[in-house]
Structure 1
Amino acid sequence: MAAPSAWAADALGQPTASLCFRLHDAALAGGYSWGKGRLYFGGHSYPVKITGGGAVGIGYSTLRGEGKVYNLARLSDINGTYWSVRAEGTIGRGRNVAVLDNNHGVDIKASMHTSGAHLAAAVMRLTLKVNPGGERAEAMPASCTFPIR
């Protein structure tokens, strides 16, 4: 059972950064997502704003997630629009996994814990924007902690 997930990690290469994030997702036919995160890259961390949406859904959920970031060579390459196909069915609590990629070749393999009441199946588009002015010198944590500061 562990072989498929190990293969997926190998297919993306070695992670170059990590991302901790909290996202809110609301839908009534079309959906909208918003939230924030913290990118850990090169011995520093940076605040990240997340916005976007998808289609075909109903309800509301909150997602707490952590992602391994692949192919990030320059901080500015994290900025941009990420695409993924996503299906979610949350009643109370759930779990979700997604692989997102942008036009700079950056990939994010995210694992999320969801809470709320939400049913959605959509092509998801999320825009990430890093704020280099909020930089802190800190290493990647072993796992994400919430709330994100």
Structure 2
Amino acid sequence: MGQPTAKLCFGLRDVALAGGYSWGKGRLYFGGHSYPVRISGGGAVGIGYSRLRGEGTVYNLARLSDINGTYWSVRAEATIARGRNVAVLDNNHGVDIKTTMHTTGAHLAAAVMRLTLRVDPGGERVETAPARCTFPIH
């Protein structure tokens, strides 16, 4: 994957009844600044609802605009009350994100996931990446 170039802190909600849908927001820390990120997508085959709080190490991000796009991953989740999972996401700009997520809820799913990330450069702040992500994300 190479050297880490950015950090992503995010929160998602995931609902599934046969097919699934995920949505949420995050904050990307890149080049001494942070930017709000919107996340949406789906693909989980399963049943239930969960909330995910996670952080990701971003690799191969050279330009801010390269974070935008559709990311693909294979994911399996089994959450009853609390759980944890790891996923590696990649997009067609060559950006990879290795994530660690903590989940709460009741959810059982397995699928190829498709998530779309969009950064809002208008919400930029001068800010370095925290050692650990804090929630809620602002």
Q: How would you bin the TM-score normalised by the shorter chain?
A: over 0.9
- Correspondence for 1:111 among 81, 100, 103: 100
Is 1:123 matched with 2:112? yes
- Correspondence for 1:138 among 121, 127, 138: 127
Q: Supply the AA of the counterpart residue of 2:100.
A: S
Report how many aligned residue pairs link the two structures: 138
- Whole-angstrom distance in 2 between the partners of 1:60 and 1:96: 15
- Whole-angstrom distance in 1 between the partners of 2:46 and 2:129: 34
- Whole-angstrom distance in 2 between the partners of 1:49 and 1:55: 19
Residue 13 (structure 1) shift: 1.2
Q: Supply the AA of the counterpart residue of 1:51.
A: S
List structure 1 runs of 4+ shifted beyond 6 angstroms.
none
Residue 37 (structure 1) shift: 0.1
Is 1:91 matched with 2:80? yes
Q: CA RMSD in A?
A: 0.4
Task: Choose between structure 1 and 2: higher strand proportion.
Answer: 2
Which residue does 1:44 correspond to in 2? 33
Which residue does 1:81 correspond to in 2? 70
- Whole-angstrom distance in 2 between the partners of 1:132 and 1:110: 22
- Scaled by the length of structure 1, the TM-score of the pair is 0.92
Which residue does 1:3 correspond to in 2? none
Q: Supply the AA of the counterpart residue of 1:44.
A: H
Q: Supply the AA of the counterpart residue of 1:121.
A: A
Task: Choose between structure 1 and 2: higher helix proportion.
Answer: 1
Residue 140 (structure 1) shift: 0.8
Residue 55 (structure 1) shift: 3.3
Percent identical across equivalent pairs? Answer: 85
- Whole-angstrom distance in 2 between the partners of 1:82 and 1:63: 17
SS of structure 2 residue aligned to 1:30: strand
- Correspondence for 2:13 among 24, 28, 46: 24
Which residue does 1:9 correspond to in 2? none
When structure 1 is superposed on structure 2, of 52-61 and 33-42 the one drifting more is 52-61
SS of structure 2 residue aligned to 1:142: coil
Gaps in structure 2 of 5+ consecutive residues: none
Q: State how 1:3-14 maps to structure 2 within 5 Å.
A: 12-14=1-3
Gaps in structure 1 of 5+ consecutive residues: 1-11
Residue 14 (structure 1) shift: 1.0
